[in-house]
Amino acid sequence: MKSSAIKRLRHKLHSQLPVFGLWVTLDSPSITEMATALDLDWVVIDAEHGHLDWREITDHVRATVRSDTVCLVRLTELNAGLVKRALDIGADGVVIPWMETADQVRQLVSYASYPPEGMRGIGAERATGWGRCFAEHAASANEDVLVVPLIESVKAAENIEEMVEVAGTELYFFGPADFTATAGARGQWETPEVARQILHCKDVIRAAGKYCGVVATGGEDLLQRRQQGFQMLGLGLDAGLLLRSLDVMMDAARLYRRITPSLEPSALATIDHPLPRPPEQFRPDRPESVCTAAEAPEIPLDDGVVLRCQVGTHNGAKGLTTGMVTFAPAAKLAYHVHPCGETITLLRGRMAVEVEGRRYELQRLDNITIPRGLAHMAENLDPEQTAELHVALASDEPARDLVDPPPERQEMPADSRGVPGAEHVVRHASAPRYCPGPHTEFVDYLNTELIPGIEMSGGWGVFGKGGRLPAHIHDFDESISITDGTALCVVEGRRYTPGDRATAHVPRGRVHYFINESDRPMEMVWVYAGPMPERLVVDETCATPEGNPWAETEAR
């Protein structure tokens, strides 16, 4: 235990200064040595998640010896043996996950304190100079040790007033991702409601004369957290910071790749070096087009239900029809079936979709994909407001047959993901994200891995300022609907600026990319006339007038 480093940290906190640190998840002690060489105020060695064993934890603790960097160990659970072991090897304190009650906090303080105040046993390990410094260490350990409860659940927020009254704690750390999961939005870092609850807890903690910490997600978030009153500020996780740096260099090298949860390569996960030009067998036979919702042919589907078809036979699409469907207030689309798969994304309003009696209520950007032959209907739940959907069908000549509704209705849970082998539902708020290009974030709605046998693939994407994908082609047609903001669409040097609700149709083999050149985010719903989102990256010059690989023969 480094009493001088702990005193320095406390002095900064008492002086209302920020204390910056690093969350360590990788095994190399060189990472912690770098943190101490940079004179960071603290490191947390994460022994809750990941692969670190006690030897590796000890190596990280050793890397902070004779420095002013406080070393904390995050343990797997509230456990007297684990707390004792971390402190015995020389940690300056412990971080304990999933703390939810005042009694748990009192237990934590007891586990970290020698008798008579607590129940920590005295060991002949590193903390006591291998038994040579029992008296010196025990004399100050109870006062010096840092015990940090992690606040990462709705229940903890409900009990925060009682928790902060427990003596022996001075720092509380927040875990927004777990907190958000307990609030019903698993997979997101922090929803607006969770952000409000965390700020409320922060105010309660600060009012009790104690301090708060959180890991920042980036530079802007770091500044915002400081302004909000968080003083123990994590600059990031070691692995996350490494990946961010790799993203910058891969962007410069025009290598756009992502990590998948399975850690296996996929069509979008691995993109080799760009080809100098597309292979001849991909030569396109049709031009691209851009169609606004106002220009699209209107097809009445039912009373108060209208499809504006933006991609289909009328503009040369093959194997794909997409468009926007508007529902008047309280309008319904009767039960029907298609001989092809259909995918539906809610853009505006409140909608319910029923599949063979199973009723799903959709929120904005939720998606439901319905394989061929399944009877389904849709209904606008709002009696006063119009609703709008993006729809896509895996045919350029889709058909439908009206059918009788099933005899019984089953209300599906709000978090239902559908039925295996039948419809598939993606809840946008909790769906996994990935980044196929710089300043982008994507969600997969459908493909044959998610829905075996589906004939198409697609999803949602948001592009920040400068966000883009590399120049590429597909072995199938693509529909890209701009659902918010404005995009620059470049197809072999031809430039288009589709805005809100405009849809671009890019035929098989056309070299193209999208980029957001505006200051506001740009959102899109994309659908491919192929079961997996495969793409072939080509040299950027192929997307210019001079380098258009098909220009010569098309000119003839």
Among 14, 49, 200, 273, which one carries the catalytic annotation? 49
What pLDDT, on a 0 to 100 scale, did the predictor assign at position 133? Answer: 87
Residue 222 buriedness (CB in 10 A; 0-12 / 13-18 / 19+): buried
CB 467 within 8 A of CB 439: yes
Strand ranges (E), 338-436: 342-348, 351-355, 358-362, 367-370, 376-380, 387-393, 401-402, 410-411, 424-426
Q: Find out whether the peptide bond into 371 is cis, omega within 30 degrees of 0.
A: no
Q: Tell me the helix, strand and coil percentages in the chain, rounded to 5.
A: 25, 30, 45
User: What are the CA-CA distances from residue 31 to residues 210, 241, 453, 485 (Å)?
Assistant: 29, 11, 47, 41
| Counts of helices then strands in the chain (DSSP H, E) | 13, 32
What pLDDT, on a 0 to 100 scale, did the predictor assign at position 262? Answer: 54
CB 229 within 8 A of CB 212: yes
Strand partners, 478: 506, 528
What pLDDT, on a 0 to 100 scale, did the predictor assign at position 269? Answer: 39
pLDDT digits (tens, 9 = 90+) for 128-184: 889 888 888 888 999 999 999 999 999 999 999 999 999 999 999 999 999 999 998
Rounded Cα distance, 159 and 21, in Å: 27
Domains of the chain, by residue range, sit at 3-246, 280-555
What pLDDT, on a 0 to 100 scale, did the predictor assign at position 494? Answer: 96
CB 355 within 8 A of CB 370: yes
What pLDDT, on a 0 to 100 scale, did the predictor assign at position 255? Answer: 58
Which fold is adopted by the domain 3-246? TIM Barrel (3.20.20)
The encoded tokens of residue 366 equal 């939720």
CB 319 within 8 A of CB 529: yes
Phi first, then psi, for residue 245 (nearest 5°) are -65, -40
Strand partners, 345: 367, 390
CATH match for 280-555 among 2.60.40.420, 3.40.50.1860, 2.60.40.10, 2.60.120.10: 2.60.120.10
Sequence-separated (6 or more) residues with CB below 8 Å from residue 399: 338, 339
Our answer to whether residue 49 is catalytic in this structure is: yes
**Per-residue pLDDT tens listing for the chain (556 residues):** 899 999 999 999 999 999 999 999 999 999 999 999 999 999 999 999 989 999 999 999 999 999 999 999 999 999 999 999 999 999 999 999 999 999 999 999 999 999 999 999 988 888 888 988 888 888 899 999 999 999 999 999 999 999 999 999 999 999 999 999 999 887 778 888 999 999 999 999 999 999 999 999 988 899 999 999 999 999 999 999 998 888 778 767 755 555 655 555 444 434 456 889 999 999 999 999 999 989 999 999 999 999 999 999 999 999 999 999 999 999 999 999 999 999 999 999 999 999 999 999 999 999 999 999 999 999 999 999 999 999 999 999 889 999 999 989 999 999 899 998 899 999 999 998 988 888 899 999 999 999 999 999 999 999 999 999 899 999 999 999 999 999 999 999 999 999 989 999 999 999 999 999 999 999 999 999 999 988 899 999 999 999 999 986 655 4
User: What are the CA-CA distances from residue 461 to residues 389, 428, 469 (Å)?
Assistant: 16, 11, 11
CB 89 within 8 A of CB 61: yes
pLDDT digits (tens, 9 = 90+) for 423-451: 999 999 999 898 888 889 999 999 999 99
**Nearest Cα residue to 476 out of 507, 520, 515:** 507
**Nearest Cα residue to 324 out of 524, 527, 502:** 502
